[in-house]
Structure 1
C-alpha cells in the first residue's frame, strides 16, 4: 500500500554537487521524525557538474525522492514553480539545498501549519557568513519593496516557507512568466505567520545568487508588484523641467549683472547632463515594464522538463514534459 503523502519538500538544485548528499541526509532525518508520509522533490535546474548524477543515485535508493530534470538552466524561481506543480503533499515546503536555511526549522513550520496557518515563512533573525554589502543590499531591497507596494511582503524573508495545498493550487493557477514567488504568496493572501531562525553560512560551494541575479530578482519583485517606479519617473521629469527653468533664470540674472553672455558653454553642458540623465533613467524604468510585457506576450513556458524520475509506483520514469 502506498503511503499517503502529507509533505512535499521542494529543493532547487543548481551545481550543488558539494552539498546535495549532506542536504539529503539532513532533510531525510528531519522528515523521518514526523512519522508521516513525505516526498523530497529535487529540481535539477540544468546543473553542469555532478549534481544530476548524485541526485539520480539518491533517487534510486530512496522511494521518497523525486527528481525533476530541466532541459537547461531556467532559474531559481521557475525551479520552485516546477516543484510546486509536481508536488502531491497537503503541505509544500520550499528550501534551498545549501543548508543556509536549517532543515530543522521545517518542524516548527509544520507545527504552525497544524495550528491552522496556511503559509508559514522563515524570517531571518540573523545572517551568518555573509558580507556587509550583501546584508545591507538585501535589507535595503526588502524595505524598498515593502514601501513601494500595497501588498504586505514580509521583510527579511526569502523563499524558505511552508504553504498549504490550497495556496499551492492558487499559485499554480497564476500565468505570469517573470515570477517573484515570495511576493505572489503574499498577494494570494490566506492566514500567514512566520518562524524566526538564524541563517547559517553555506555548507559548501558558491552562492547561486551573485550580484547580477540579485538585481534581476529585485527588478522582478518591484516591477511585478509596484507601478511606483513609473510614477517616480514622471516626477523626475517634472522636477528636471522646473530645475532647468530655475537654472535658466539664475544664469540669466547672473549674466545680466556681470555683463556676460546668457548662453555659455558651462550652462549648456550642465543642462544637458541633467536632462539626458533623467530621460535615460526614465526610459530604463519604462523599458523594464515593456520587457516584461514582451515576455508575457510570447507565451513561452517558464521551464521545460526533460524527465521526472521516481521509484514510486505512481510515477513514470523518464517522462518527458513540455
Structure 2
C-alpha cells in the first residue's frame, strides 16, 4: 500500500487544532486506498499551538510534529515537512481547513490515473475579498508574462507530487523563494483538478499585506530577470529623454533665446533623476542581498524539536485496550 505524507504548517492556530485533528481522524478513518502520514510543522507559534498538537488524540494516521525555534514562514515550514516526509506522494494542507481534506484523495487519484509526477488543485472559486482577488489576479498575470509562462490564471495552494520531485526539492532548499513556483518550474509531467476554497471558520488569517509583498518580490527576484531588465530599460529611456531635452534646449537657445533659467526646473529634474536612480539601485540591491544571503549558507529553518508516532503503534494500543 502506498503512503501519502500530508504537511500542515501552523502558526498561532490554537483555535483550529481541536477541529483540525477531529476532521483528520474522521476522514482518514474511512480512507483505505493509502496509508497516511501527517506532518505538523509548528512555525514558531507564540500561543498554545504546539501543546495542543502534542496532547491531541491522533488516532487514524501516523504523525510527526516539527517545532521551529522561531517563526520562519510558511514556505520554510513546507520545506521542513518535505525533508521529513516518508510517503510515496507528498501534499500540503492548512490548519484553517479552508481546503477540503477530500483533495488528498482526489489528488492521489489524479496522480495515479494520469501517471504524472505533479498534480495541482486550482481554485475555481474562493471566498476571498475583492482586494485579495485583485492581488492574486495581478500576481498571476505578472508571473505568466515575466517568469513562468504556464503559471495558472486561478490561484493554487495545494499540490501533490512524487518522490522524484521531493528529491529535487531536498537538494535545492532555497531561501527567499516560492516553493510552489519552484515545483511548477521543474518541468515534470503535471496535471490538475479544480475545487472551491471555503471560508475560514476560526482564527485570523496570517496572510498579511507584508507577506504578500514579500512573496511578490521573492517570486520575481528568484525566478525572473524582469526587474533587472527593467532597470536597463529605465536607464535607456532616461538617456534618450536627456539627449532629446538637451537638443531642444540648444535649439531654443540658438533660435529664440527665450528660455528663462531658474531653480524650479533644475530641482524637478534632480528629484525625478534621483528618484529613478534610487528605484534602480533598490532593485539591484535586492539581487545583491539575496546573493549575499545565499553565500552565507544560513539555514532556511531551525528545528527545535520533533515528536513522532507511527499509526501501527497507536493501533496496537487500541487493540490492547479493547481486549481488556
Fold shared by both chains (TM-score > 0.5): yes
Match of 1:13 in 2: 10
CA distance in 2, matches of 1:180, 1:299: 18
Cα deviation, 1:271-296, whole Å, max 9, x if unaligned, reads 11221121111111111111110110
Which stretch of structure 1 is more off in the superposition, 173-182 or 69-78?
A: 173-182
Q: Report the CA distance between 1:45 and its aligned residue.
A: 0.5
Q: Kindly provide the CA deviation profile for residues 7-39 of structure 1, in whole angstroms up to 9, marking residues without a partner as x.
A: 110000000011122222223333333213111
Q: Which residue of 1 aligns with 2:223?
A: 225
In structure 1, stretches of 5+ residues that fail to align are: 316-322
Task: Spell out, residue by residue over 1:171-195, the C-alpha distance to the aligned partner (whole angstroms, 9 max, x if none).
Answer: 1111432231011101212111111
> Deviations 1:84-107 (Å, cap 9, x if unpaired)?
110111011112211222222222
Aligned to 1:244: 242
Q: 2:20 aligns to what?
A: 23
CA RMSD of aligned residues (A): 2.2
Superposed counterparts of 1:50-89, under 5 Å: 50-58=48-56, 64-89=62-87
Q: How far is 1:218 from its partner?
A: 1.1
**Is the Cα–Cα contact under 8 Å of residues 244 and 271 in structure 1 kept in the other structure?**
no
TM-score relative to the length of structure 2: 0.89
What is the distance in 2 between the residues matched to 1:179 and 1:228? 16
Aligned pair in 2 of structure 1 residues 270, 245: CA closer, same or farther (>3 Å)?
A: farther
Q: Is the 8 A contact 1:63 1:310 kept in 2?
A: no
Is contact 1:59–1:311 with CA below 8 Å preserved after alignment? no
Q: Does the C-alpha gap of structure 1 residues 313 and 20 become closer, same or farther in structure 2, counting only changes over 3 Å?
A: closer
Task: Give the whole-Å Cα distance in 1 for the aligned partners of 2:195 and 2:24.
Answer: 17
Using the TM superposition, give the Cα deviation of residue 306 of structure 1 relative to its aligned residue in structure 2, in angstroms: 1.0
Measure the CA separation in 1 of the matches of 2:282 and 2:145.
21
**Per the alignment, in what secondary structure is the counterpart of residue 19 of structure 1?**
helix
Is contact 1:122–1:196 with CA below 8 Å preserved after alignment?
yes
In 1: Cα distance, 2:167 partner to 2:144 partner: 25
Equivalent residue runs for 1:66-215 within 5 Å: 66-115=64-113, 116-128=115-127, 130-150=128-148, 152-215=150-213
Alignment check: 8 A CA contact 1:96 1:160 kept: no
Query: Distance between the aligned counterparts of 2:59 and 2:110, measured in 1?
Result: 31
In structure 1, C-alpha distance between the alignment counterparts of 2:7 and 2:293, rounded to whole Å: 26
Instruction: Provide closer, same or farther for how the CA distance between residues 158 and 150 of structure 1 changes in structure 2, counting only shifts above 3 A.
Output: closer
Structure 2 CA distance for partners of 1:313 and 1:16, relative to 1, 3 Å: closer
Structure 2 residue runs of 5 or longer lacking an equivalent are 314-324
| Cα deviation 1:125-169 (Å, max 9, x = unaligned) | 1220x2211110111011101211255333333331111121111
Count how many residue pairs are aligned between Structure 1 and Structure 2. 311
Tell whether 2:242 aligns with 1:273. no
Q: Under a length normalisation based on structure 1, what TM-score does the superposition of the two structures give? A: 0.89
Deviation at 1:78, TM superposition (A): 0.6
